[in-house]
Each structure stands twice: as C-alpha cells, then as structure tokens.
C-alpha cells in the first residue's frame, strides 16, 4: 500500500508538470483533438491528489452510495412547464446519441454547450469536443465530469489540499466540491445536492444541476435528442438609467448613469453609445442605446432606453376677478380665482385679500400662483371702497367670518354676559392623567395605576433627558384569568418641539377615531403577562426637547396595572421596568380621577340675548378631584379638567344665533366637534384671550338643536367660553 501511494505521488507530480506545459485553453483551439486527453490528465491529477490526501487509491471501482433520488428520469431543476422539445430526462443508461446531428439554437445568446447523454461528445457553439467521461444518469440524477464543464465554460479550477475540496471560480462566485459527499458550498454557504459526488475512471462526477443552479447557468433538456443544452454566455451586461426626473428640451443636461458588469469578473474596457445627447433640443421620444466590451473582447448585448423629452414648461397664469369693482365699507367681496396652469397650481398667495374693507379709497389686491415646477405668475386688481357703510366691522365678522376662522372683538365685555346655568351628569370613566413631571429629566416611571372598566389616558410629556428616549404604557395582568382590553378611541401626536401644536393634533385625531372607529382593537393579556399597549406612543424616538401628546379610551374586563414610563430609546422597556424609579411630580397635574365624562343637556332657549357657557372654570364646571397614587394617594385637583370629555346638547338654539369659542385663560388652539363635524380653533392660528373668538356655528331663520363634543387640548389654557349672540339683520 505504501509503495502504491509513493507511485501515485510520483504520477501526481509528473502530471502537474505536464499540465503546466500546455495552456489551459489548448483544447478550445482544435476541434476533436487530443486536447481532451489533457483534460483527462489534469482532472486525474485533482482526483489522485484528493485520494492521496485522504489515504485512498485512485480507482475506477470506488463504491458509489445511492443519493436521494428523484422520480425516475427527471432532470434536476427542470422547468415546470418545458418548452417545445423539452421533456423529462430518461433513466435508461443505455440511451445514446452517438452519431446524432447537432445544430445550434438560433435563439441562444451565442455561447452554447450541448452535452449528449451517455456520450463523451460535446458541442461548443457547434464545434465537437470529446469529454474525458460521458454524462450519465444515476438513480434519476444527471452527473457530469467537473472538468468537462470547467474547461468548456472557461472557469478556473484549483484544489485545496487542506480541506480536500475541488474549487471552481467564475468571477466573484466560488464553488467547492468534496468527493463522496451530498453537499457543496457556494460562496461559503453550504447547499445540498440531489446525489452524492463520486469518482469513476479518475473523473470527479457531480450532479449537473449543482453547477448550473449555483452559477445560474440556464439549460434545457431535449428529450428527442437526449441532450442537455446549456447557455454559457459570458458576455458582459450593460444598462443605464438617467438621473433626471424630467428632461426638458433645450434646458435639461441629461445625467446618464451607466451600469455594467461581467459574469466572469472581466474588466470593462470599452463602451459605446448610440443616440446619446447631453441636451435634446426638440421634444419627442429618443432611443438611446448602450453597450460595453470586456477585457476578453466580448461585447454586451445592446441596452436601449427611451427618453421622453418634453417641451419647456410655461409659467401659470394668475387671474382673478371680484364680483364688483366698487364696494361700500363693510360689504362682502366675492373673489373668483380664474388662474390656470398646464398641469397644476400648487400654491396661491394673496396679498390684501379681505372679505371686506372698512376705510374708503382705492385698494389693490394681489395674487401670486405657483405651479408644481416652481414657476410663478402674479396679478393685481384695484377696487374702490366708497365712504358709505353697509356693516360695521363687528357686524360684518358676526355675519361672514367663516366657520373655524377667528375675528377680533371686545372680549372685556364677555364677563357681563349672562351665564348659561347648566347642570351635568357624569359617566363612569377613570381618567389616568400622566402630565407631571411634564418636562422629564431622567428615565423612570411617570405614573402607575390600576384600573378596571372604562379608562381614559391623557399623556403629555416633554423630553429633557439630553438623549433619545421612548415612552411606553405597559399593561400587566396580575389576575388568574386572561384579561380583554378593548381600545375604542385614540389620538396621538408628536414627537416634535411644539407643545401646543402636538396637543391640538392629538385632539383632532382623537375626534377622528370617534367618527371613524379606525383605532378600535381588542388586546388579550394572559395571567401574569405584561404587554405594551397604545403602541403609537412608542413608535418613534423622542429627541431631546420633543413633546408627545396622547388621548385614548379603553375598556378592560379585569383590573390591570398600568405603567407609563420613559426609557432610553435603545433599551428594552420590559427588562427596564422593574428597575425604574418613580419620578416625583412637578407643578403640573397628574393623578387618577373618576367620572371623567360629563354630559350636559340644556333645554331652554339660548341665543336671544348674549350668553356664555363656561368650561374648565372650577365654578360652573368644577374641577375633578382625585389622587396621585405615586405620592401616597395624595388628593389632587385636575386643574382645567384636561382629559375630561364634554358631550353638550343644546336643544333650543334661537334663530339667527352666532355660536363662537372664546378662550379666557390664555392662548388656546385645538378642535371641537360641532354636530359631528370637526371645527378648528382656529384654522390659521390659535386664539388669544380674551379678545379673539372662533366661529363655530350659525343658526338659520329657525330654532335648531346643537351638539358639541369638547375636550381641552393639552398645551393650551383653560377656562373657555362658548358664546351665543344674535347676529345683525342682513342688508
């Protein structure tokens, strides 16, 4: 045995020297020549080396273990729906195409290798070559000599004596095969073959599809001709895009972004363009074609792209008219915008556009329109205001200020108006208000409470920790049975640095969920389980200085513990929760408050004389009393009644009544539901107390009922008034 090993080693060295004496591409130059013998010697070298390393002898009688087999005669990896002349590969090993006529496929991409079943013959682009061992079928799997594929496809082959693996390299792809195994590696990832590799007559045989699939080599099986047709194209691939969203004739410098690659890793050395222009001077469709050449001299297939060139954009045309040219002071002006554009007007900017003017003289109004391309146009119109008065400013505002907009009036007189002496009933709602410390300087538990049944969360905090954080509400079920938690309404806004804007947006989204039901969902919490709820709260990082605001209505059929926490954005809230400290409150309010939904029904006529309905004043509308469970259940008042929802029904609002919203405690911006319609407070900017009021509703010439749903927007100030007054007669 030792003598045989020495003999094999001697043959190995001699064969390697012989292999180096001939160029690897020798057989490609001479059809049906002895170059096939070179392939046999070289492949035997790899086989003998692997066997010497493993202590085996090179032999044509090495046992072959049956692999997992396919259905008899199926070519591994065959398309599910073969095209014409494709069919199932036979399992009859005696089948042969010796003497068959071979012709190329006219639809091939120019580099075609045809392997004949049970034959040494191969045809590369129509030229016949001899393999060192025929392709054969074992147990329903097609096997091919590695060397037969490698030499014809132009791949690189080597042997790793440490791992005893034969290595095939094509460009950046590397395949590693080992003798007598059912697996191989593709770029370091192990894959399974349908059959086991083996050696026969010093030829390393592997399943054909182990190579074709790994290197994405397309092939077809010709049932009639008993042959496998492989597309070995190594041509480079070219494509390109343009970096311009739009190409305008005579203006745009086209940004061509070429892309090219070689499947064999060849360097791209040349490129060719057809139809390329840096600037196209005439509108139309232009076909631009691109191809590249690699270092071996192969050109890619041409890649074509149609570029649509449009004519230069024209600016919009600004144009408006008014219903008249001359108006009295306090007379309503109707503006008719007749501006046009070839595509779309994106912005309209008015200067001095007012619904009425209250000083006589010439007035110039200006309109600038901007289209989607940023082009602008401006137009002006001058009208005349006479010295005759139709309405005073206050009368005009009462009649014509749009719903949701504000106007200025003498708010100092409002406290002298009659109060609407309403009464209310309370619905069972537990309010958990987490609003203190409003500005949070460290991680911790902001509020902790247990609750059952109908529960409302009002959460409003700012991050001052100096780092990115997230806020969470975690519900824990400490019961012996599963708990069902139903979320009905939710409004969340932020994070950003504008507290009043965040508060306003959270209320708007809360009302929207009331109207649409788009936030409804059920959450099941198992016994002993903790679960993150109100996920919108923790969806985004809060940067330092950011504010969030949330209002949500829930119902639980069991008592649950709720923890409102703030932790670093990179931390797991569940892991952090047991170690968080309870944060002390600041001057703002937090606590648990019962009966946080108030229903007001007023049946007397309202609006014939000036009247006001106060909310959040702690007199007509007393503050909710509660307790701060994080501070030894210390009694607290919910100043302003933030988080309380008011459902107000006024059954008899007099004809010709103006209903407005007037803040009394300071700046206010938010929303209110009026007969099921969301109305901003106000649409343009917020309201300043006490001399600004926003229009909510106007009754017609008959008595009407009115329903209002209101909750105070976090970040704004209470108290507020709902004002009712008669409008002046229309002239």
Q: What angle do CA 598, 627, 469 make, to 5 degrees?
A: 95
Q: Detail the DSSP E strand segments found in 125-236.
A: 127-130, 136-138, 141-145, 156-160, 165-170, 173-177, 183-186, 189-192, 198-200, 203-207, 219-222, 227-231
Tokens of 425: 């009933």
Beta bridge partners of 432: 457, 592
pLDDT digits 0-9 by tens, 165-197: 999 887 778 899 999 999 999 999 999 998 999
pLDDT at 477: 98
10-residue stretch averages of pLDDT, the chain, 731 residues long: 42 36 28 32 38 34 30 31 30 32 36 88 90 89 87 84 90 87 92 92 90 82 88 86 95 96 84 97 97 91 96 95 97 97 94 97 98 94 98 98 97 96 95 97 97 98 97 98 98 96 97 97 97 96 97 98 98 97 94 97 97 96 96 93 98 98 97 98 92 98 97 96 97 91
Q: Count CA atoms closer than 13 A to 283's CA, side-chain side.
A: 6
Q: Is 49 helix (H, G, I), strand (E, B) or coil?
A: helix
Among the listed residues 464, 459, 445, the one whose alpha carbon sits nearest the alpha carbon of residue 584:
445
Please tell me the distance from the alpha carbon of residue 484 to that of residue 185, in angstroms, as a whole number: 51
pLDDT digits 0-9 by tens, 555-567: 999 999 999 999 9
pLDDT at 231: 82
> Is the separation of the CB atoms in 723 and 662 below 8 Å?
yes
Rg, the chain, Cα only: 42
pLDDT at 110: 59
Please tell me the distance from the alpha carbon of residue 382 to that of residue 385, in angstroms, as a whole number: 10
Tokens of 592: 């648990």
The angle, 0 to 180 degrees and rounded to 10, between the axes of the packed helices 35-54 and 2-21 is 140
- What element of type H or E holds 503? helix 499-516
- What element of type H or E holds 8? helix 2-21
Please state whether 528 falls in left (phi above 0), alpha (psi between -120 and 50) or beta.
left
Among the listed residues 287, 422, 393, 376, the one whose alpha carbon sits nearest the alpha carbon of residue 724:
422
Q: What is the DSSP letter of 536?
A: G
pLDDT at 266: 82
Say which residue the tokens 């087999």 belong to.
69
pLDDT digits 0-9 by tens, 609-624: 999 999 999 999 999 9
- What element of type H or E holds 252? none
Tokens of 591: 């606590």
Please tell me the distance from the alpha carbon of residue 349 to that of residue 334, in angstroms, as a whole number: 17
Phi, psi of 24 (to 5 degrees): -60, -25
Please tell me the distance from the alpha carbon of residue 474 to that of residue 565, in angstroms, as a whole number: 8
Please tell me the distance from the alpha carbon of residue 561 to that of residue 452, in angstroms, as a whole number: 9
pTM: 0.66
Among the listed residues 196, 66, 209, 203, the one whose alpha carbon sits nearest the alpha carbon of residue 134:
203
Beta bridge partners of 441: none
> Is the separation of the CB atoms in 320 and 336 below 8 Å?
yes
Could you count the other beta carbons within 10 Å of the beta carbon of residue 354?
Answer: 11
pLDDT at 59: 31
């Amino acid at each position: 045995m030792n003598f045989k090993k020495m003999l094999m080693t001697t043959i190995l060295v001699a064969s390697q020297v012989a292999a180096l004496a001939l160029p690897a591409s020798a057989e490609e130059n001479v059809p049906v020549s002895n170059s096939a013998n070179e392939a046999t010697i070289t492949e035997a070298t790899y086989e003998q080396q692997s066997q010497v390393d493993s202590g085996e002898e090179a032999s044509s009688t090495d046992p072959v273990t049956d692999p997992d087999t396919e259905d008899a005669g199926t070519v591994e990896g065959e398309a599910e729906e073969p095209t014409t002349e494709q069919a199932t590969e036979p399992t009859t090993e005696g089948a042969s195409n010796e003497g068959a006529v071979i012709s190329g496929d006219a639809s091939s991409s120019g580099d075609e290798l045809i392997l004949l079943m049970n034959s040494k013959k191969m045809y590369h682009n129509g030229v016949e070559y001899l393999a060192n061992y025929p392709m054969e079928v074992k147990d329903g799997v097609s096997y091919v000599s590695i060397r037969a594929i490698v030499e014809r496809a132009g791949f690189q082959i080597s042997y790793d004596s440490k791992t005893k693996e034969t290595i095939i390299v094509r460009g950046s792809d590397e395949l590693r095969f080992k003798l007598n195994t059912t697996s191989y590696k593709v770029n370091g990832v192990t894959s399974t073959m349908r059959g086991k590799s083996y050696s026969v007559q010093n030829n390393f045989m592997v399943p054909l599809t182990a190579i074709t699939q790994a290197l994405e080599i397309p092939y077809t099986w010709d049932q009639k001709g008993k042959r496998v047709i492989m597309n070995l194209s190594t041509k480079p691939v070219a494509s390109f895009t343009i970096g311009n969203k739009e190409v305008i004739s005579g203006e745009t410098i086209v940004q061509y972004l070429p892309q090219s690659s070689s499947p064999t890793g060849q360097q791209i050395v040349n490129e060719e363009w057809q139809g390329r222009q840096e600037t196209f001077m005439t509108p139309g469709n232009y076909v631009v074609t691109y191809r590249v050449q690699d270092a071996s001299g192969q050109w890619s297939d041409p890649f074509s792209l149609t570029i649509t060139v449009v004519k230069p954009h024209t600016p919009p045309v600004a144009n408006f008219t008014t219903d008249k040219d001359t108006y009295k002071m306090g007379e309503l002006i109707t503006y008719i915008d007749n501006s046009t554009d070839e595509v779309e007007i994106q912005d309209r900017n008015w200067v001095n556009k007012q619904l009425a003017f209250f000083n006589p003289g010439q007035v110039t109004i200006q309109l600038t329109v901007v289209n989607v391309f940023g082009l602008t146009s401006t137009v002006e119109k001058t009208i005349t205001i006479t010295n005759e008065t139709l309405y005073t400013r206050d009368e005009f505002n009462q009649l014509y200020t749009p719903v949701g907009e504000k106007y200025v009036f003498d708010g100092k007189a409002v406290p002298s108006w009659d109060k609407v002496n309403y009464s209310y009933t309370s619905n069972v709602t537990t309010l958990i208000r987490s609003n203190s410390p409003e500005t949070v300087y460290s991680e911790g538990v902001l509020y902790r409470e247990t609750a059952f049944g109908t529960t409302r969360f009002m959460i409003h905090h700012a991050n001052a920790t100096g780092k990115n954080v997230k806020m969470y509400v975690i519900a824990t079920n400490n019961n012996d049975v599963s708990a069902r938690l139903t979320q009905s309404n939710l409004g969340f806004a932020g994070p950003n640095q504008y507290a009043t804007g965040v508060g306003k947006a959270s209320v708007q989204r809360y009302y929207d969920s009331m109207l649409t039901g788009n936030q409804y969902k059920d959450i099941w919490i198992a016994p002993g389980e903790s679960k993150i709820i109100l996920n919108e709260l923790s969806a985004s990082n809060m940067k330092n200085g950011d504010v969030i605001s949330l209002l949500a209505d829930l119902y639980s059929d069991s008592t649950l513990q709720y923890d409102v926490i703030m932790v670093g954005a990179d931390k797991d809230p569940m892991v952090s929760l047991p170690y968080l400290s309870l944060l002390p409150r600041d001057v703002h309010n937090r606590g648990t408050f019962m009966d946080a939904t108030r229903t007001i029904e007023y049946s007397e006529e309202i609006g014939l004389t000036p009247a006001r309905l106060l909310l959040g004043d702690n007199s007509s509308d007393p503050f909710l009393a509660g307790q701060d469970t994080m501070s030894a259940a210390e009694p607290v008042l919910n100043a302003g009644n933030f988080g309380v929802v008011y459902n107000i029904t006024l059954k008899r609002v007099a004809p010709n009544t103006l209903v407005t919203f007037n803040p009394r405690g300071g700046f206010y911006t938010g929303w209110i539901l009026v007969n099921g319609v969301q109305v901003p407070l106000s649409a343009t900017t917020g309201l300043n107390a006490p001399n600004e009021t926003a229009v909510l509703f106007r009754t017609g010439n008959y008595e009407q009922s009115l329903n209002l749903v209101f909750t105070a927007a976090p970040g704004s100030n209470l108290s507020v008034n709902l004002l009712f007054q008669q409008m002046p007669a229309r002239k």
